Structure 1
């Protein structure tokens, strides 16, 4: 399988947990997010990183500059990788959005809080109380059924449609190319 992995920093080792992808925090901890299209991987490699630096405009009473927190823009890299065909759960539908199918499946493990109604889903914009736990239970459930990840087919992005993969681990990928985002 050929896939594209967008990340804000260079990756030395795919066996350790990668938290340098710009993925929605609600689903970002499920696994590694890859796409079938190089341009669709670009948003996962662009984001911000918090840095601390001396202020040029704010000073303490003694004249020394204050240290301030700044969100610095980061443009990273896209890895073109070859991996063995993993056993993936397929989310695809002719009648529903494939992403909706995935999120509805994950909702079984989510606990939400909201003031207006009782049985919330991800579509209600309610506050998710157990993100890490829900993602772990969802991932564990799929692993127990023999899956190594899942694919959301025909995922609609702002600039097109792609297959979106989430792999629970990436063991020894063959990296054929590392492309800086600014080169796209």
Structure 2
């Protein structure tokens, strides 16, 4: 399988990666997110990081500049990788968004709070109380079923676009190319 992995920093070892992708935090901790084409991997490689710097506008009483935190833009890399065919759960439908199928499955592990009704889902934009736990339980349930990840076929709405993969581990993938996003 050929896939593209967008990362905000250069990666030397895929087994020891911190948060290197710009992924929605609600689903970001499920696994490594890959796409079936380069343009779709690009957003995962662009984001911001917090840095400290001396302020140019805020000063202490003695005139010294305050040290503040700011978001610094990060433009990273896209890795073209080859993987042995992982055993993936496939989310695909011609009647419902495949992304919706995935989120509905994940909702079985989510606890929400919202003022308007009970039996919330991800569609209600309610506050998710157990994100880390829900993602871990969802991932572990798929692992128990023998899956190494999942694929959301035609990841965009209306079944158009690339496939979106989430792999639970990326141990020593064969990297055939590293593409700086700024060169695209």
Matched, 1:41 2:41: yes
SS in 1 for 2:115: coil
Separation in structure 2 between the aligned mates of residue 135 and residue 17 of structure 1, nearest angstrom: 18
Taking structure 1 as the reference length, the TM-score comes to: 0.97
d(CA) in 1 for partners of 2:118, 2:59:
50
1:54–1:66 Cα contact (<8 Å) kept: yes
Matching of residue 54 in structure 1 with residue 54 in structure 2: yes
What is the RMSD computed on CA atoms of the aligned residues? 1.0
Question: Which residue is equivalent to 1:122?
Answer: 122
* Structure with higher strand content: 1
- Runs ≥4 residues deviating over 2 A: none
CA distance in 2, matches of 1:94, 1:137: 28
Partner of 2:83: 83
2:151 is aligned to: 151
Q: Which runs of 5+ in 1 are unaligned?
A: none
Residue number in structure 1 paired with 2:112: 112
Q: Establish whether residue 10 from structure 1 lines up as the match of residue 24 from structure 2.
A: no
How far, CA to CA, are the matches of 2:156 and 2:18 in structure 1?
A: 24
Return 5+ residue gaps in structure 2 as ranges: none
